[in-house]
Structure 1
Amino acid sequence: PYYRFNDDNLKWIAESNWSYTRTFQVDNEVMAQREQWLVMEGIDTFADVILNGKTIGRTINMFLTYRFNVTEILQKHFNMLVVGFTSAVSKSKQCYSDLPYTYSICDVYFAHRKEQCSFSWDWGPGFATQGIWKPIYLSAFNTSTLIGASALYNWGNNGTSITSGLLSGNFSIEIKGLEIHKIFTNITFPKTQDGISSLKLSIDLKTRWHSNEIGLLYMYSLCAISEKKSFIIFLYFFPLRFGFRKVELVQEPIPGSTGLSFYFRINDVPVFAKGANWIPADSFKSRITTERFENLLGSARDAHMNMLRVWGGGVYERQPGCTKIADEYGIMLWQDFMFACAMYPANKDFLANVTQVSKIVERLKHHPSIVIWAGNNENEAALATNWYNTSSHFARYKTDYVALYADTIMPIVQKLDPSRPFLTSSPTNGVESAKEGYVAKNPYSDYYGDVHYYNYNDNCLDWTKFASEYGFQSWPSFEAIQQVSEPQDWTITSNWSEHRNHHGSGNQEMLSQISMHFQIPDSSNCTEDFINTIYLTQVMQGLCYKAQTEFYRRARNHLFKGAGHTMGALYWQLNDIWEAPTWSSTEYGGKWKAVHYFASEFFAPV
C-alpha cells in the first residue's frame, strides 16, 4: 500500500463499507457456564455487531474494549458473527455535520474517537482503516470474572491499592518479587456502582522502579486466584507485571527567573529527560509485531534515551507492546490522551464517549514507565494562537476546551490515578496555564512548562524549560526509497518526491539548510545526485539535532534573561509510519538514520 501514489489511489477502500464474517462452534465447557460474553478488544471504528442474526451492539470508539452479553444468543454447534463496518470517512463527515455549530477544526474527520493520523499527517499517509485490530474472544463464567487489575502505591502510608473490575467473591492475591513473600487470602472485592473495586494492602516496599541509567528496574507479578474454582484468572496480559516509583512534576520558583521550573523528580531524584516522540509504527496495526516494538524501543535505549512521548494523534498501543517493553527497558513514557490539533465539541454525546478514558487509565496505570498523562497535543496552543480561525468565537471554543480537558478528563485521571501528574495539554505553561483558565496567552513561553520548537530557517536553537518537541526533516535511505518508488521518481523535485513529503515546503527547507553548510549535489547523473542529497539531508538533520540537544543539556544549569534551566529534550520523532521524508531518527522498519547515531553520543551520560 505504500508504493508510489497508492495513498491516493487506494482511498476508495476507506470510502467503502466492509463486513467481516466468520462461523464458529462452542465447546461444552463454555456452554455450561452461567454467562457467556463476547469480548472485542479493538474495533476500528464504526460497526454493527451481529451474532446469529441478532444485533448485539454497536461500536463507535476505536480505543475501547467492548463486551456484549451473548448468553441467550450463543449456540453450541453453529454460530455466525458479522461485524459490519461503516466507512469512517463518511461517518466522520456525518458526525461533523451533526455538531450544533460549525466547528473550527483542522480536519472534519477528527470529531470522533478514531486514530487521527489515519486520515494523513505531515509525516504519514491517509489510510483511514476499518476493521478488527485487536483480539475477539468469548469469556464464560459462573459467578464472576476479572477483567482487569492494577496496583498503586501510597507513598505516605506504605500501602498498596489494588483495583479490579467486575469482581466479587473471595479471592487470593499473590504478589511475587517482594523481599517477603506475601499471600493475602480470602479477600472480598465488594461490588460497586461503577464496577471498580479497590483493596488496600500494607506492604513494606524497599525496592523501586527506576528509569535506565538511574537504578534497577524492580518489577512485581500479581496473580488473582479464584477460591471456588482454583484456577488462575487471566488478565489482558498475565501475569500482571507492575512496579512502584514516586513521580513528581516540579514547578517551583527559580531564583533569577520570573517563571517556574518544569522537570520530573523520580524517586526523589531530579531527572533530565532525554528522548524522542513516538508515533504509530505502521498504518496497519496488525503488522506491528512485538519484535518491532522491541527493536524500536531497544534503539531508544541504545541511544541513551530515558523518555518517549506517546503522541496524541495516534493510538493507545496494543499490549503486550510499547508500554510493557518500556517498563522492562527503563524508558519513561509521557502519555498523551488521543486528542490532537483540533477543537473538539463538548456536547453531551461526545463527552459521554470521552468519559471512557477511565477505561484507558485503568488499563495502563499499572505500568511504572508512564510518568505523566497529558490531555492533548497542541490544542491549547491552537486555540490561544488562532490556528483554526477561532478568534471570532474564542469564548465559545474555550468553554468547550475547558469542559473537555479540565472538567471531564482531568477529574477522571486524578480520581483513578493520583500517582501521576496531569497536564491539560502539550505544549502548555503548566500551573501558569491553569491560572489563566487553562488557555495561556502564550503557551510557548520560555519561562513556563514545555514547548514545541521548530526553526527551519536558522541554526536550530532556543531557550526553554522543557522541549517536548523539536526537529528537522531528512529523507530515509535510498534502499528504503527503492522499495516504494521507480527510477523516474529519483530526484528531489519529482512529482513523487513532492507528493511524498507531506510537510508543505519540506524538501526546499532541507535544501536550504544543506546550502548553509554544504554544497548541493549538481551533476549530470540525477540518480547519483538524489542519493547524495539524501545522505546530506541525514547529515544535516544530525547536526541540527546535535546542536539543539547539546544546547538544551548545557542550559540545564544556566539562565538567560530568566529563561533556561532546561530539564527535558524530546525530539520529534523516534520512528516512522512509512518510507518518506520526515523528522524521524529511525526509518520505517527500524533502520537507524544518521541522526540516531548522533543521538547515541549527544544523549550519552556525562
Structure 2
Amino acid sequence: ITIDAKVPGGVYGSLMDSGKLTEGDFYYRFNDINYRNYSYRNWTYFTSFEVPSNIWSESRIILEFLGLDTVSDVILNGRLVGKSVNMFARYIWDVTSYLKKENEQTLEIEFQSPVEWSRKAYEKQAQDYEVPPKCIFPSFKGECHANHIRKMQSSFAWDWGPAFPNMGIWKPWNLIGFSSLRIKDILIFTKPTSPIGGGGKSRFDSVGWIVKLKVVFDAAVINKKISGKIRVDISGNTHLVKKINVTPKRYKIFIEEKFKVSKGILKTWWPNGYGNQPLYDLTVTWSADKTHEENHKTIIVGFRTVELDQSYVKPKRRVLGSNWVPSHVLPERMNQDYMNRLLIDAADTHQNCIRVWGGGIYESDEFYKTANELGILIWQDFMFACSMYPTNAKFLNSVAHEVETQVHRLQHHPSILVWGGNNENEQSLRENRYATAGNFRRYKEDYIKLYVDVIKNLVEAADDSRPFVVSSPSNGILTEEEDYVAENPEDNLYEHIFKIIILEKITLSYGKILILGEYFKV
C-alpha cells in the first residue's frame, strides 16, 4: 500500500484520509479489531526536499524531530542517520555530512510495528526475568507488552478506550543550520524578593522578583571559543544584556543568568477562582560576535511559587478538578478546538486543577498554554501506568532522554503544579496485581531504580521549583519513609488522586491550598 501521508500525523489517520479504511469511523462498533492488522505491519514514510540556500554556509546542519512514534530508522540520502525508540523524546542528528550539495535530498523513516517490536522486547527481557503484566485483560481486546515500548500506553487498549497502536511522524520536523549557538530550551525559576502572605491580592502584586534562567543551547562547534551576547526581554522590556564567552566541550551547553525585577512591574499568576492569570512573553535572544548570526526563543511565563507541605492542616481553600486522558486514541486526531472546549468547560465548572494521567501522552503545547490562560493547575504524570517496567540500560537511557525532553519543554508553564512519577504502580506492586510477590525484592529494586534513581533525580536536578511525587495513589512522605513502597499505598488518610488527597497542602505565593478534590475522567 502506498498512500499520501500528512505530517505531523500517523499511519491510521493517513489510511482513513486516503479512503483505505472502509468500515467507518475508528470508534464505530468493532473497528478497533477490524483495523488492527495495520498495526502489525512496518511502514515507511518517504519524501524529498531541497535545502534552503542560506543553510549551506552554516558550520553545522541538524535534523530535528520533535516526535517520532515510535521505533524507526531515519535514512537521509540512503544513509542511516539515527534510530528512534521513544515517542516522547526529541531527536536531533547532525546531518552536515549527509546532505548532497545542489541535489534534491531524499528522506525515509522506516517504522517498525510497535506490536511486534514490544513482543520481541518482552521475550528478550523474559530470558532474564519477566517484567509483567504478560498481557492486559482479555476484555480490553487489546495488545500485549505496552510496558516494553515507550509510547502512549493506552494505544494498546485500556479500560476506557480501544487499541490503535499507531506509527508516524506525530510532531513537526525541521532542518536547521547555525554556526555558533542555537537556543534550544529555556527554564525559568522565580523567587519573590520579600516574604509573601496576607494583606490581600494587592500585597502579592507589590513584590519584586528574582528571576533565574537556565538556557539550553546547541553548539555548532566544540573546543573552539564562541563569543556573543544574550538579551532577555519580558513583554518587550529588556531586563538583561550579558556578554558571553564559551568554549563548548559538548554540542549541548547550559548558560545560567539571574536578574531582579522591581516591585510593581509583574503581577502574580493565580489559579482559577482566586484571581487573574497575568502572563508574559519572555524572550531570550542570542547574538554572535563573529558570524553576526542571531536567534531567539520566546516562552510564556507567569509569576508564582509552589511548595509542598505535608503536615496536617484543616482545609481552607480547595483544588478541584479532573483526571485527563487523551482526547482521542490517535494523536493526529486530537482536535485543538475540542481540547480547548473541554478545558474551558472545566474552568467554567470551577475546576482549577487537572491531572494529566500517566497512561496517555504529554499533552500539546496548546494544552498547557490554554491551562495557563484559564488558571488551571496541572498535576503532570510521567507516562508510566499500571505495569512493571524494564530497567535495563537501553530502557533507562531512553527514559532519561524522555524526561529531559519533557521537563525542558514544559517547565516554564505556570500551570504545572507538580510532577508525578507514575499511575498506580506502587499500588500494583504492593497488592501483587501482576503476580510479583514471588520476586518482590527484584521488582521493588526495579521500581526504585526507575522512578527514584532515574526519574526523580533527573526531574529534581532540572527543576527544583515544584514538587515531585513518585506515584499516585501513595502516602506522600510516609511512603518515602517506607522505602518508596508503602505497606498500604491506599491508606484512607491519603487516597488516590482520582478520589481524595488530604494531609498534603500546597503552599503557593498566594497562600495555603489544600488538595481536597474529586477527580473523574474527562
User: TM-score, normalising length from structure 1?
Assistant: 0.70
Match of 1:478 in 2: none
Aligned residue among 198, 211, 228 for 1:170 = 228
Match of 2:69 in 1: 44
Tell me the distance in 2 between the aligned counterparts of 1:291 and 1:162. 32
CA contact (8 A) 1:307 1:334 kept: yes
- Change over 3 Å in CA distance of 1:70–1:464 after alignment to 2: closer
Q: Structure 2: which 5+ runs fail to align?
A: 1-25, 137-143, 195-208, 219-225, 505-512
Query: Are residue 363 (structure 1) and residue 409 (structure 2) matched?
Result: yes
Letter in 2 for 1:83: I
Aligned residue among 200, 204, 207 for 2:267 = 207
Aligned residue among 292, 299, 322 for 1:240 = 299
- Change over 3 Å in CA distance of 1:365–1:189 after alignment to 2: farther
CA contact (8 A) 1:450 1:465 kept: no
Tell me the distance in 2 between the aligned counterparts of 1:335 and 1:220. 22
Tell me the distance in 2 between the aligned counterparts of 1:322 and 1:151. 19
Q: CA deviation at 1:196?
A: 2.7
Tell me the distance in 2 between the aligned counterparts of 1:568 and 1:247. 17
Query: Based on CA coordinates, which of the two structures has the bigger radius of gyration?
Result: 1
Tell me the distance in 2 between the aligned counterparts of 1:204 and 1:343. 49
Secondary structure in structure 2 of the residue aligned to 1:148 = strand
User: TM-score, normalising length from structure 2?
Assistant: 0.81
CA RMSD in angstroms comes to 2.3
Secondary structure in structure 2 of the residue aligned to 1:216 = coil
- The structure in which a higher percent of residues are strand is 2
Match of 2:517 in 1: 569
Q: CA deviation at 1:230?
A: 6.8
Match of 2:397 in 1: 352
Q: CA deviation at 1:305?
A: 0.8
Tell me the distance in 1 between the aligned counterparts of 2:192 and 2:279. 17
Tell me the distance in 2 between the aligned counterparts of 1:187 and 1:162. 15
Tell me the distance in 2 between the aligned counterparts of 1:295 and 1:452. 22
Letter in 1 for 2:368: T
Q: CA deviation at 1:271?
A: 4.0
Letter in 2 for 1:45: T
Letter in 2 for 1:3: Y
Aligned residue among 106, 123, 134 for 1:97 = 123
CA contact (8 A) 1:466 1:569 kept: no
Aligned residue among 239, 249, 255 for 1:197 = 255
Match of 1:108 in 2: 145
Query: Are residue 217 (structure 1) and residue 277 (structure 2) matched?
Result: yes
Match of 1:149 in 2: 186
Letter in 2 for 1:19: T
Aligned residue among 331, 335, 341 for 1:285 = 331
Most deviating of 27-36 and 186-195: 186-195
- Change over 3 Å in CA distance of 1:436–1:287 after alignment to 2: same
Q: CA deviation at 1:406?
A: 1.2
CA displacement 1:279-298 (0-9 Å, x = unmatched): 11112212223322221211
Tell me the distance in 2 between the aligned counterparts of 1:368 and 1:186. 26
Instruction: Kindly report which structure 2 residues correspond to 1:400-549, keeping only aligned pairs within 5 A, or say none.
Output: 400-448=446-494, 450-453=496-499, 465=502
Match of 1:561 in 2: none
Letter in 2 for 1:374: G
CA displacement 1:390-448 (0-9 Å, x = unmatched): 11111111111011111111111111111101100011100000000011111111123
CA contact (8 A) 2:230 2:244 kept: no
Q: CA deviation at 1:226?
A: 3.2
CA contact (8 A) 1:293 1:325 kept: no
- Change over 3 Å in CA distance of 1:277–1:110 after alignment to 2: same
Letter in 2 for 1:163: K
Q: CA deviation at 1:14?
A: 0.5
- Change over 3 Å in CA distance of 1:332–1:230 after alignment to 2: farther
Tell me the distance in 1 between the aligned counterparts of 2:112 and 2:353. 38
Query: Are residue 386 (structure 1) and residue 386 (structure 2) matched?
Result: no
Most deviating of 169-178 and 282-291: 169-178
Tell me the distance in 1 between the aligned counterparts of 2:165 and 2:121. 16
Letter in 1 for 2:275: G
Tell me the distance in 2 between the aligned counterparts of 1:388 and 1:82. 40
CA displacement 1:457-503 (0-9 Å, x = unmatched): xxxxxx76289xxxxxxxxxxxxxxxxxxxxxxxxxxxxxxxxxxxx
Query: Are residue 25 (structure 1) and residue 70 (structure 2) matched?
Result: no
CA contact (8 A) 1:43 1:61 kept: yes
Most deviating of 95-104 and 38-47: 95-104
Percent identical residues = 35
Instruction: Kindly report which structure 2 residues correspond to 1:319-334, keeping only aligned pairs within 5 A, or say none.
Output: 319=365, 321-334=366-379
Aligned residue among 74, 88, 110 for 1:84 = 110
Letter in 1 for 2:351: M
Tell me the distance in 2 between the aligned counterparts of 1:370 and 1:32. 40
